Amino acid sequence: MDRSGWRPPLAVLVMVGLVLLVVTVLVTVTIGPAEIAVPDVARSIAGHLGLGDAGVPRLVDAIVWDLRLPRVLTAAAVGAGLALAGAVMQSLTRNALADPYLLGLSSGASLGAVAVLILGVGLLLPVAAFAGALVALVATLALARTHGVLTPGRAVLAGLAVSQLCAAGTSFVIFWTATGDSYREIISWLMGSLAGTTWSSVAISGVALLLVGAVLLASAVRLDAFAFGDTSAAALGIDVERTRWTLMTLVALLTGAMVAVSGAIGFIGLVLPHAVSVVTGPAHRRLLPVAALAGAVFLIWADTAARTVFDPRELPVGIITALVGVPVFAVLLRRGRGAAWS
């Protein structure tokens, strides 16, 4: 059914992805300074879900349920959300390099988040991050558009400029207001970090992922229609302007929610969709769910490495994703698929 002859059925890919995700969650929760076994993790979770008596020591239960599980689940939601955001942006802008991080959305969201943090209204954090992402998106597109045409090369350059400006703004706000270790704080917003995540992080990122993700999945066919550009999509019966702005706003919303709980983690949105499309092919009905699952699994492992490899010191997880992502970025650039990169 395609040029490589055979692509696995979507149901198989999703099942494999789900099994991998569950195994990843159970295994990574055991990894850390305190040795915990997988059965203890399962029993602790079962206990909290009301599925029988926990029977695990209280300290173990607290480590699993209060510390590690929220962090692992937040990583899963953020990884899935960023992978979806990248896949959708790449299709809407017809730019293989479009992702929320490179287009400046993530740093815009960080700036929005730290701006309300200094006001001390934690509840507004995701809203402010969304607003920051949206402003950054509009600024990038306004800079990149020439005569109404969005050229891929300009989009990335404009995103770079917006991203740098927002990063400088974020650093300045934190430097000006932080009382303690401001550099650690700056790094965790600009490079991304899942340290200190709680169940409310899980709620923010999880709800955003489920709501926005459902709409994006329902838009899969319309995203396919953009393969040959706007006119071609319009001729196939798509309302091009409405679809583009609705979906871009949703991507900004998703990015804002993810950045609000984890800072600006780069390269997931860039790399995962490309890697996954090798297996799924480019049809979004197949690509989007698999990219989300892959993003979740990838970020959980990246974050597990970030918190354990240099134990007791913790790396910002963005360093890990960049270490994996930049080589892939380089390969994409070298392969340069013709006009799209000019």
Question: What are the DSSP calls for 229-268, one per residue?
Answer: -HHHHHHTT--HHHHHHHHHHHHHHHHHHHHHHH----SH
| Of residues 63 and 238, the one with the C-beta less far from other proteins | 238
Q: Is 335 in the site for other proteins (CB under 8 A)?
A: no
| Of residues 229 and 327, the one with the C-beta less far from other proteins | 229
Q: Is 218 in the site for other proteins (CB under 8 A)?
A: yes
Residue 146 phi/psi, 5-degree rounding, is -120, 125
Distance CA 265, CA 269 (A): 9
Q: Which residues, numbered 270-289, are part of the site for other proteins (CB under 8 A)?
A: 277, 281-283, 285
Name which position in 18, 23, 221, 309 contacts other proteins (CB under 8 A): 221
Name which position in 50, 180, 237, 312 contacts other proteins (CB under 8 A): 237
Amino acid at 332: L
Cis? peptide before 152, omega within 30° of 0: no
Judging by beta carbons within 10 Å of its beta carbon (0-12, 13-18, 19+), is residue 280 exposed, middle or buried? Answer: buried
Q: Is 332 in the site for other proteins (CB under 8 A)?
A: no
Q: Is 144 in the site for other proteins (CB under 8 A)?
A: no
Name which position in 229, 241, 309, 310 contacts other proteins (CB under 8 A): 229
Q: Is 3 in the site for other proteins (CB under 8 A)?
A: yes
Q: Is 338 in the site for other proteins (CB under 8 A)?
A: yes
Q: Is 231 in the site for other proteins (CB under 8 A)?
A: yes
Q: In the structure encoding, which two tokens stand for residue 196, read together?
A: 């200190």
DSSP alpha helices (H): ranges in the chain? Answer: 10-30, 38-48, 58-62, 69-93, 105-117, 125-144, 152-177, 182-190, 199-218, 220-224, 230-235, 240-262, 268-280, 284-308, 317-335
Residues 6+ apart with CB under 8 A from 308: 31, 32
Q: Which residues, numbered 306-325, are part of the site for other proteins (CB under 8 A)?
A: none
Name which position in 183, 239, 309, 331 contacts other proteins (CB under 8 A): 239
Min dist CB 47 to other proteins, Å, is: 38
Closest by alpha carbon to 78, among 267, 243, 240, 218?
Answer: 267
Candidate ranges 41-49, 99-107, 202-210, 332-340; the one touching other proteins (CB under 8 A): 332-340
Q: In the structure encoding, which two tokens stand for residue 161, read together?
A: 């400029």
Residue 146 has a CB neighbour count (10 Å cut-off) of 9
Site residue total, other proteins (CB under 8 A): 33
Distance CA 48, CA 15 (A): 25
Min dist CB 96 to other proteins, Å, is: 6
Min dist CB 295 to other proteins, Å, is: 20
Q: Which residues, numbered 84-123, are part of the site for other proteins (CB under 8 A)?
A: 91, 94, 96
Candidate ranges 68-76, 98-106, 117-125, 216-224; the one touching other proteins (CB under 8 A): 216-224
Residue 181 phi/psi, 5-degree rounding, is -85, 80
Min dist CB 290 to other proteins, Å, is: 14
Q: Is 164 in the site for other proteins (CB under 8 A)?
A: no
Pair type for strands 145-146 and 149-150: antiparallel
Q: Is 153 in the site for other proteins (CB under 8 A)?
A: no
Look-up of token digits 């996954």: 276
Q: Is 220 in the site for other proteins (CB under 8 A)?
A: yes
Candidate ranges 2-10, 98-106, 113-121, 262-270; the one touching other proteins (CB under 8 A): 2-10
Q: Is 5 in the site for other proteins (CB under 8 A)?
A: yes
Name which position in 2, 35, 53, 181 contacts other proteins (CB under 8 A): 2
Q: Which residues bind other proteins (CB under 8 A)?
A: 1-3, 5, 91, 94, 96, 218, 220-222, 224-225, 227-229, 231-232, 234-239, 277, 281-283, 285, 337-340
